[in-house]
Amino acid sequence: MGVITLQQAAQWCGGSIDPKYKDVTFLGASNDTRTIQAGQLFVALQGVRDGHTFIPAALERGAAAVLCTRCDGDYPAIVVKDTRLALGDIARGERERIGMKVVGITGSVGKSTTKEMVASVLQTTYRVGKTPVNHNNDIGMPMAVLEMSADTQVAVLEMGMNHFREIAYLASIAKPDVAVIINIGTMHIEHLGSMEGILQAKLEILEGMSADGKIVLNGDDALLWNQHRLAGVQADYFGVRNPECAVRAENIIEEEGCLRFTAQCPTGAFPLELALEGAHYVHDALAAIAVGLHLGVEPEKIRQGLQNFRTMAGRQQIFEKNGYTIIEDCYNAGPESMAAALSVLGNKAGRRIAVLGDMLELGVCTQAEHYKVGRIAAEKADVLFAYGPNSERMLYGAMTGGMPQTKAKAFADRERLVSELKYMAKPGDVLLFKGSRGMRMELILEAFLNQD
């Protein structure tokens, strides 16, 4: 990561410093005293708890300096009006100083996977920095930029949101040279009102693009098709069904632990074999191919990068334990990703048990979407354990879809679910665990695998 002086950071964010500390340097930033590293800048955020109360602890743990709205002692500090906005300004300044190209990635489903695939492809040719897990908001993304090495050539930045103007703010910091929109789904519809509202929120990424930037869009998504004409920017489309896409997948074959297809590109065709299960990964891989080609990565290196890709913890990890096949997909969930995960479960041999938590932030669509997931579960699973306030609605969908009442159960209590699941599940079963982040489905999985 690059070494930044307090004087330089203060200039970028319009803050004030004590002149005697102007040459103090920091490497990276953190707002958490539990994980802050020696030499970092401590960011005192004003949230549920006032970050200023943690300044002594941050300094004791080795923080080089503090970004704050008030300085109550004699220590290196940058004093600003708003620490959140100042953090963004400092990250923007560091991005400009490094001079790296930026790939910005957003979408309703698959952002993190696509980010990792793009990084895996680009790492075959460039020195790459990327946002780590959960660092896709107005705090995490700027801190990720400040963690990047001074010799970074390409930064791959994931951009999340649940409200309007959040991606516009992230894009103003990142200034992407390439903007990728994976899809438009129903995640966060509670706050954005409609699919068209979600589309407009995702398109905010274009507001920060460089003048000669390019967008990479899913040509199979009806809401995204032809959006570049409205935006007036260059676009590359990827897809499976739309023959007009520049990057396409043909001959898709799903096997146990493996996904194969042929990538058709303007430069020619090449075969791919990924260590993944589920056709929903094809679009993520195609997006990575399109980005790689645009940035000059050779097709053979693109192939190598994708074949070396592995899923991240919490996202469709498939493993054997205690005689069970476990599909751990606990990181988050929406209607589209639920359907994809159930499709993977449906392709497994053995008794298939879906342990599904609520999908959050669906607003007026909540009841209908949980019912639909229940119907899909009836088709793909033999048993459904639904968990959360909307579990009864999911249960009703499953029984309407033909699942016997004795095979579908709803739970409001986590411990009771685990107890009944342990009693019912037998070695040889395949179990899928999935739900929105707030449902903490990993706790159910951990408790189930605990044989005590």
In a domain, 92, yes or no: no
Per-residue pLDDT, averaged over 426-434, amounts to 97
Q: In the chain, pLDDT over 90 holds for what percent of residues?
A: 86
Range of the domain at 215: 99-307
pLDDT, tens digit, for every residue of 252-262? Answer: 999 888 999 99
Q: Is the alpha carbon torsion for 356, 357, 360, 362 positive or negative? A: positive
- 116: nearest Cα among 300, 309, 307: 309
Q: Are residues 113 and 26 in the same domain?
A: no
**pLDDT for res 176:** 96
Token couple for 404:
């016997």
Which of 307, 325, 346 is the last residue before a domain boundary? Answer: 307
The mean predicted confidence, pLDDT, of the chain is 94
Q: Is residue 121 part of a domain?
A: yes
pLDDT in tens, 135-147: 899 999 999 999 9
* Alpha-carbon gap, residue 186 to 198, rounded angstroms: 8
| Confidence band for 228, pLDDT divided at 50, 70 and 90 | low
Asked whether residue 281 falls in the same domain as residue 383, the answer is no
For 162-191, what is each residue's pLDDT tens digit? 899 999 999 999 999 999 999 998 877 878
- Any domain includes 212: yes
Pairwise CA distance, residues 269 & 299, whole Å: 9
Structure tokens at 273: 């074999």
Q: Quick check: 5 pLDDT over 70?
A: yes
Q: Are residues 120 and 255 in the same domain?
A: yes
Last residue of a domain, one of 28, 58, 83: 83
Q: In what order do the strands lie in the sheet with 408-411?
A: 317-321, 324-329, 430-434, 352-357, 383-387, 408-411
pLDDT tens for residues 300-329? 999 999 999 987 766 789 999 999 999 999
CB atoms near residue 159 (< 10 Å): 31
Q: Are 13 and 47 part of one and the same domain?
A: yes
Give tens-digit pLDDT for 12-55. Answer: 999 999 999 999 999 999 999 999 999 999 999 988 889 999 99
Residues 39 and 127 both lie in one domain: no
